Amino acid sequence: MLASRSWPTSALSLLLEAKKGEKPPPKLLPVSVSPGNWRSYCGEFESQSFWAKLEIRKGELVATFLDTCARLAPVCPARFLADSISYDAMPLAVQAG
């Protein structure tokens, strides 16, 4: 099951704001992208940090990495926000080739 927000991350943000007055950085807002255009992002990707597989599931672009399934929201071409049980709007950039 995909979660829309990570409660540990949200709780940590609220704790930091209450304790130190530190506000989290502003969130990037998703942009509208035709699901047909998502096919060009599907495949397996690798970085120095981790390996990921992007695919379309039930009309949504989804990434599987570090044994976590995350829903991806596009913010601009080849850049997404990953939301899962572990990540709350984690920036993710995809570069083909």
Backbone angle region of 49, left / alpha / beta, with phi > 0 → left and psi within -120 to 50 → alpha: alpha
Closest CA to 13 of 23, 1, 28, 4: 23
Confidence of residue 25 (pLDDT cuts 50, 70, 90): low
Q: CA dist 96 to 13, 42, 86, Å?
A: 33, 10, 25
Give the model confidence (pLDDT) of 33-77 as tens digits. Answer: 776 778 888 899 887 877 889 999 888 889 998 788 998 888 887
pTM of the model: 0.65
H-run or E-run covering 17: helix 7-20
> How many angstroms separate the CA atoms of 78 and 96, rounded?
9
